[in-house]
Chains A and B, each alone.
Chain A
């Protein structure tokens, strides 16, 4: 039984190693290649009036909540609900069609 489990584990590791889809999720590849820590964000205001960081990185789009140090949503009123503002399209040389 123990041997069987061991073999299964080795098999599992081998299968993972054989995966050839993009393994490193921490970099953007292709024309606009960079490490993801370089992303440039703007603010998108949700229908409740609260802020989210919005990033249009060419092919990828990112959205993540803006929280204060206590973990509460930041609703700064920087823009009306449903509006995105700031340099969120500046991070990538790849132009978006929309």
Chain B
């Protein structure tokens, strides 16, 4: 029994030392890495975003699947409302009129979400700094209405022109980028 265990231990030790991987064709030198193959699968969380997951037999491991920019890889978002800025705001303004305010109130009162994140965006015209401020002011205007209708707002952000949804080289694309996103959390 003991001998067998030693033998198995030996195999296990060998297993650790056996992953070599091919480098891109440009790099001619081959590198040998001491390691063991751990291929993950994907678990999708209730928000719709992916996580790497592995079960080692006795242990489990998990980590969010983000791209190299740190943006999570999601199959569906939990963005539950995208407000077209052109319908809610005048150019360069963040005031919301009474009728639109009423529409927003109804949205927040009928939503089943337990909390909200509100993020403002602009197109790429005007300076980055200006757009950061404008988008934040617009998000804040929406958040104020949300709070007044009893919703729990956990974060308000302005991303300016930095998170475009469409191209900024066409008028239609720019219109799509001018928006306030409402993220609903269950």
Interface residues of A (CB under 8 A from B): 5, 8-9, 12-13, 15-16, 18-29, 35-37, 39, 41, 53, 55, 57, 59-72, 74-78
Contacts of A76 in B (CB 8 A): 114-115, 154, 185
Q: What string of 1s and 0s marks CB contacts (under 8 Å) between B19-49 and chain A?
A: 1100000000010100011111111111101
User: Given A28-B55, A60-B55, A78-B114, is A16 in contact with B37 using a C-beta cutoff of 8 Å?
Assistant: yes
Size of interface on B: residues with Cβ below 8 Å to A: 57
B163 touches A77 (CB 8 A): no
A67 touches B49 (CB 8 A): yes
User: Given A37-B43, A70-B71, A70-B163, is A21 in contact with B57 using a C-beta cutoff of 8 Å?
Assistant: yes
Which among A5, A22, A60, A69 is the interface contact of B183 at CB below 8 angstroms?
Answer: A69
Contacts of A28 in B (CB 8 A): 55, 60
Bound-state CA distance A26–B75 (Å) is 19
Report the tally of A-B residue pairs with Cβ distances under 8 A. Answer: 138
B11 touches A19 (CB 8 A): yes
A70 touches B119 (CB 8 A): yes
14 contacts between A and B (CB under 8 A): A5-B30, A12-B20, A15-B15, A19-B12, A19-B36, A55-B62, A60-B55, A60-B59, A61-B60, A62-B53, A62-B60, A66-B47, A69-B49, A69-B79
B18 touches A37 (CB 8 A): no
Additional 20 contacts, C-beta under 8 A, given A16-B37, A36-B41, A39-B43: A12-B18, A20-B11, A25-B40, A25-B55, A26-B39, A27-B55, A37-B41, A41-B46, A53-B45, A57-B60, A60-B58, A62-B61, A68-B117, A68-B183, A69-B183, A70-B157, A70-B159, A70-B163, A74-B154, A77-B152
Nearest-neighbour CB distance to chain A for B152, whole angstroms, equals 7
Which among A24, A39, A67 is the interface contact of B64 at CB below 8 angstroms?
Answer: A67
Contacts of B12 in A (CB 8 A): 19, 21
Bound-state CA distance A8–B20 (Å) is 10
The 7 closest A-B pairs by CB, nearest first: A60-B60, A26-B41, A25-B54, A19-B15, A62-B62, A64-B62, A22-B57
Contacts of B20 in A (CB 8 A): 9, 12
Interface membership of B63, Cβ < 8 A: yes
**Chain A: which residue is nearest B185 at the CB level?**
A76
B115 touches A71 (CB 8 A): no
A25 touches B41 (CB 8 A): yes
